[in-house]
Amino acid sequence: MIRIGIIGSGIIGGIIAYELSKIEGIHITLIDEKMPASGSTGAALGVLMGAISHKTKGKAWQMRENSIRRYQKLIPELEEMTGIPIPVNHDGILQLLFPENDLEKLEKLIAIRANQGWNLEFLSSDILKDKCPHVENSDVVGGIYSPEDCQINPTILTEALVKAASINGVECKFGLKVENLLSMPVPGSEIRRCYSLETGDGIIEVDWAIVSAGLGSTHLTKSLGKPLDIRPVLGQALRLKLDKPMGHKEFQPVITGNDVHIVPLLNSESGIGNSELLPKFTKSSPSPETPNTSDTTETPSAEYWIGATVEFPNDAGEVVADAVLLDKVKQEAMEFCPALANGKIIHSWLGKRPRPEGQPAPIIRKLPDYENVLLATGHYRNGILLAPVTAQIISDIIFDYN
């Protein structure tokens, strides 16, 4: 039995645990100091900017493409296995265009995607008005619509991953903090090896340690003398309730403009979206910092998440939520979709994205000078999108497939 310890049960630790749990001959322990999705994952909007992203080649595009392809199979697989309906908005992503957007560049992107087998559509302002009459802004000159991209509820997805992993035999230890990783030199070499995880409740022996602890990764790598510099970039978002859906209730894509997302929450009573894919949000006691995913099915209404701010830390690495910035995001969303002004804010929250300093996001590799410590962290703004490919890369490193 290969013993694998995974530290952190956000989307990244959860998906690694699940994907590895399908392989015979390993014993996995998944540890989180809180509950799954308590960190950045629980605050995320779950917008998967795949085909609509501007990455067209190399690793950046490959990672996105692999992830969205894996999601297409992963979601039904998890739903079948766990019985948890995972809210996915399959109405696609609509990116609004403004006069300053380079239309020639966008036409090239559409052509590249067509070659890669992905469909992106250019919407003139007339077609946009027809498809999404709730977008009412004279600055908007049209849109790019990506029907194959989607949005997923990150908290429920993580819960399903953890449940599926535990059905497959993963040992889950929640409410347990890993304090240190203990290591020793590999005889006859400069390399070291981690042999156990030190927790408040004793030692967990491992053959591989996977650090998927988001912002907590800095402390853990420090205990091995190799501190990773990962800093918090704060994001605030809110949930707004309207009496009825905006636009055509059967077509509710995620709308994104100027880095602000308007995310329809599918709701069986309001009839938004495809009723087979409807979420019945099940989380019972959301923390004040995370999206309130409960009780959307009680009244006929339409709800939208709006976000998120991008707030960088000061020199001391601290970041405090700025109410003015959240209000700016809300105002901007209302400028695109004036009907949002009739809505009532029913919840707001914040989260901290783990952003690597001095190196690109994400960090998915071995910790230098250690033969069995893997980093799967620092996903910054794309952790939900890049979760499946992260699990693939980690599995490839462990089983030396490359």
Ligand X SMILES: Cc1cc2nc3c(=O)[nH]c(=O)nc-3n(C[C@H](O)[C@H](O)[C@H](O)COP(=O)(O)OP(=O)(O)OC[C@H]3O[C@@H](n4cnc5c(N)ncnc54)[C@H](O)[C@@H]3O)c2cc1C
Binding residues for ligand X, rule: CB under 6 A, are 7-13, 31-34, 38-41, 43-47, 177-178, 212-214, 216, 220, 235, 237, 307-308, 351, 353-354, 377, 379-385
Under 8 Å CB-to-CB from 131, ≥6 apart: which residues?
123, 145, 247, 248, 251
Q: How far is the CB of 56 from ligand X (least distance, A)?
A: 19
Q: How far is the CB of 388 from ligand X (least distance, A)?
A: 11
Nearer CB in complex with ligand X: 142/354: 354
Q: What is the DSSP string of 361-378?
A: S-EEEEPTTBSSEEEEE-
Nearer CB in complex with ligand X: 336/349: 349
Identity of the amino acid at 151: Q
Beta bridge partners of 30: 6, 172
Nearer CB in complex with ligand X: 53/296: 53
345 phi, psi to nearest 5 deg: -75, 120
Q: How far is the CB of 52 from ligand X (least distance, A)?
A: 12
- Which single residue is written with the structure tokens 């700016």? 328
Strand 142-146 relative to strand 93-97: parallel, antiparallel, unpaired? antiparallel
Nearer CB in complex with ligand X: 122/195: 195
Nearer CB in complex with ligand X: 245/378: 378
C-alpha angle with apex 158: 155 to 161, nearest 5 degrees?
155
Structure tokens at 172: 């889950």
Q: How far is the CB of 98 from ligand X (least distance, A)?
A: 21
* Dist CA 363 CA 380 (whole Å): 10
Nearer CB in complex with ligand X: 137/287: 287
Structure tokens at 283: 């989380």
Q: How far is the CB of 351 from ligand X (least distance, A)?
A: 3
Q: How far is the CB of 328 from ligand X (least distance, A)?
A: 15
